[in-house]
């Protein structure tokens, strides 16, 4: 387990993404993945009020599935549950009124009385940061959430938000609902924005980074290849457009080489590279089957040599 920033939360170093629940896999398969994750020692589950919007049951489906699973297994106190507010078509933005309505909806769907980590899913430039942080602080004091976090914030706006939670030059945990973690788009194929602008902020303020799209929407699993890789995924067209280039194939080549040396999966190597990066606490990754999850979980035991880390960093530069 790793400590999440300066909080008291101890989390498994791979966060299970719930974005596929109620979208690309149904409830039965979702339960199977969740069960396999917990059996492997996992305790950190990530979802959002908007997840499921592209599935048959609409926004909130992921939270409802997780809630029914928690109720069936009776394991709430063994878990760290994270969800988000601000991107749902029904409750968009981060005004205090929206946050309060959204948190009550998430609590009901999850069937719990508290959320361990509550993210502002995306910045809301129309709402003053002080108002957003103040509303999150109220939820902390009321016990509805334990900690607040940010997702999809620019370095400038994140820095401004963190300054609000600073007293006499020192970050104060949860002051006015201040953010304690950042979910950022970061992986071997997406490095510049995080490493250049966001990582220094995380380091300075003690924020834990929880990268999303940690496998570049599936590209870093190795299932996409230069030739003969027809992938049945709603993300496939975007993946090809973004990563089918010489840099992408160079990264896959380095991953193949290192995965072969360790007799492990390409996905495990990509996640192990992330875990070795400063400020990263736990990458977020989703799986559609227990077998696929097992390939991801191998990252927790994988230790890449300095030369292997450099090989991957050079290929993805």
* Catalytic residue annotation: 51
Residue 304's CB: how many other CB atoms inside 10 A?
19
- Report the distance separating Cα 162 and Cα 172, nearest Å: 9
Cα-to-chain-centroid distance, residue 98: 22
Decide if 203 contacts 278 (C-beta within 8 A).
yes
Using alpha carbons, list the distances in angstroms from residue 14 to 46, 174, 206, 210, 294.
Answer: 10, 24, 19, 9, 12
The sign of the CA dihedral 71, 73, 77, 78 is negative
Query: Which ranges of the chain does DSSP label H, i.e. alpha helix?
Result: 27-39, 61-73, 96-110, 129-142, 155-164, 192-193, 199-205, 236-243, 246-262, 266-275, 290-297, 306-316
């Amino acid at each position: 387990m790793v400590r999440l920033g300066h909080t008291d939360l101890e989390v498994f170093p791979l966060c299970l993404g719930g974005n596929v629940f109620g979208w690309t896999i149904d409830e039965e398969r979702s339960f199977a993945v969740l069960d396999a994750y917990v059996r492997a020692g996992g305790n950190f589950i990530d979802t959002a009020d908007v997840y499921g919007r592209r599935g048959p049951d609409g926004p909130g489906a992921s939270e409802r599935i997780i809630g029914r699973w928690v109720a069936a297994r009776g394991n709430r106190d063994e878990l760290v549950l994270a969800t988000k507010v601000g991107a749902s078509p029904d409750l968009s933005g981060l005004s205090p009124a929206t946050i309060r309505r959204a948190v009550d909806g998430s609590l009901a769907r999850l069937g719990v009385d508290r959320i361990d980590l509550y993210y502002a899913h995306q910045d809301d430039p129309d709402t003053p940061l002080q108002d957003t942080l103040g509303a999150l602080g109220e939820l902390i004091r009321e016990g509805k959430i334990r900690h607040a976090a940010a997702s999809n914030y620019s370095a400038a706006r994140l820095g401004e938000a963190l300054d609000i939670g600073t007293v006499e030059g020192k970050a104060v945990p949860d002051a006015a609902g201040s953010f304690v973690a950042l979910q950022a788009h970061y992986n071997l194929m997406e490095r510049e924005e995080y490493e250049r602008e966001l990582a220094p902020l995380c380091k300075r303020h003690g924020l834990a980074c929880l990268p999303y799209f940690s496998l570049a929407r599936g590209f870093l699993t190795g299932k996409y290849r230069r030739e003969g890789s027809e992938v049945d995924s709603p993300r496939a067209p975007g993946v090809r457009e973004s990563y089918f280039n010489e840099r992408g194939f160079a990264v896959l080549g380095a991953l193949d080489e290192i995965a072969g040396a360790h007799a492990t999966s390409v996905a495990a190597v990509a996640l192990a590279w992330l875990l070795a990066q400063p400020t990263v606490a736990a990458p977020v990754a989703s799986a559609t089957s227990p077998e696929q999850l097992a390939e991801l979980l191998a990252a927790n035991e994988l230790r890449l040599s300095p030369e292997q880390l450099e090989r991957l960093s050079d290929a993805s530069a």
